Amino acid sequence: MKYDICLNGNKYVVEIESSKAQILEKKAVADNETDLLDLPDFDFGEEKNETSSIKAALPGTVIAVNVKVGEEVYKGQTMIILESMKMENPITAPCDCYIEHLSVNVGSYVKKDQELVSFKIPELAV
């Protein structure tokens, strides 16, 4: 679904699919134009860079960690490889982000839903 969001004097066209949001377009909004937009009331908290994490979908053993704390990674980049049921499962970055914390090392055994890595999404460029 696509939404028009007005935030800090800018209009963003945002598409949301499967709990992922992507900005499609950004443009400045004139003062008289904000009255014409039918926008829901969003509660944007004080924290601009919230931390997100990726959890293990299956139990297994970590066989590779390709990132380090503070590193910038790009959408689709392999961060961790988890071996589960004799198959290698690459854990990739869902978006461009910075690694905040690694919860595992090579050789670590992980349980289902155990946190593997946490990351921060950089602020939108204004």
What are the pLDDT digits (tens) for 55-113? 998 999 999 999 999 999 999 999 999 998 889 999 999 889 999 999 999 999 999 99
Average confidence score pLDDT of the chain? 78
Separation between Cα atoms, residue 39 and residue 69, nearest integer Å: 38
Cα dist from 117 to 5, 58, 69, 80, 99, whole Å: 30, 15, 9, 9, 7
Q: Specify which of 34-43, 99-108, 115-124 reaches the highest per-range mean pLDDT.
A: 99-108
What domains sit in the chain, N to C, each tagged with a CATH number? 2-36 (no CATH), 51-120 (2.40.50.100)
